[in-house]
Amino acid sequence: MNAVASIDFDRDYFNAYYANWVRYRSRWRRFAIPIALSFVAVTALASFRLESHRPIAGGLFVFAALNLIDAITHRQRWIRQRLASVAVDKFAKLTFNDDHLQILTTNTEGTVRYEAFGVVAVTPDGIFLVPDSGHSIFIPRNAFSTDDEFRLVSNKLAEQVACYSV
């Protein structure tokens, strides 16, 4: 098997990465806004209802509002940080062979055996390769030249690594 995926690390890539990460990999981030809204509502109600504890409830309301702002702006901050840390012409070419992944970027070249990945998550929009460290590498579906290559790689990784599809 020799399938190739080419990735340009641009805003579109990081938008797709974040959207898929929130939907398929994150445990709690997808609930951050509803939880923050609930906290704001409860603290607002408490600050109006509990007159004797209004300063405490008001302080909690301010904390809840800041938490809500953090939850709402998390995606933009995350993408901005990733874009700032990537060189302008940054790309990656990933070649999937029978027993290893060959990675070629602007500044590096390397080989990773499939056993180095603890988990592989196949989503409708791409593949997450998760090394034992817990970080993940996202390969968008459109990085492959055809859907057949995407399916071939997904099936091969399922044979080699603990894989799940969502």
Distance CA 113, CA 125 (A): 23
* Residue pLDDT, tens place only, 60-90: 999 999 999 999 999 999 999 998 888 766 8
* Residue pLDDT, tens place only, 90-119: 889 999 998 899 999 888 899 999 888 888
Residue with tokens 């020799």: 2
Backbone phi and psi for residue 5, each to the nearest 5 degrees, phi listed first:
-125, 135
The reported pLDDT for the residue numbered 36 is 94
pTM: 0.80
User: Is residue 6 within 8 Å of residue 93, measured between CB atoms?
Assistant: yes
* Residue pLDDT, tens place only, 26-41: 878 889 999 999 999 9
Residue 2 carries which side chain, given as an amino acid letter?
Answer: N
Confidence of residue 45 (pLDDT cuts 50, 70, 90): confident
